[in-house]
Amino acid sequence: MTTPTYSFAGRTVNRLGYGAMQLAGPGVFGPPKDRDEALAVLRAARDAGVNHIDTSDFYGPHITNQLIREALHPYPSDLLIVTKVGAVRG
C-alpha cells in the first residue's frame, strides 16, 4: 500500500496520521487506564511509519502531550506533531 504524502515546512509528511485523543482517560480526561499500553501504541505507530501525530492540550488535559514526549523523545527529525489550543472545559 502506498501512503499518500504532502509537503509541509520543507518535509514530507504522511497524510495518514495518528490522533492521540484516545490516549487520555475516560471522557478524554485524566491519565490512560494503562500508561504502558498508551506508550506502546505511540511507539508502534511510529515504527509503522506514522510521522504525523495530532494532539491537543485539551486531552487529559496535557496528558497526551506528556505521553508523546515520554514515548518518542528525542523526536525523530521527520516527526510532525500537530496540536490545538484554546479549548475550554465547562
H-type helices in the chain, by residue range? 35-47, 63-72
Judge whether 59 counts as a catalytic residue.
Answer: yes
| Cell numbers linked to 89 | 472545559
What are residue 53's DSSP bridge partners? Answer: 18, 81
Q: CB 51: neighbour CB atoms within 10 A?
A: 21
Q: Catalytic amino acids?
A: 59
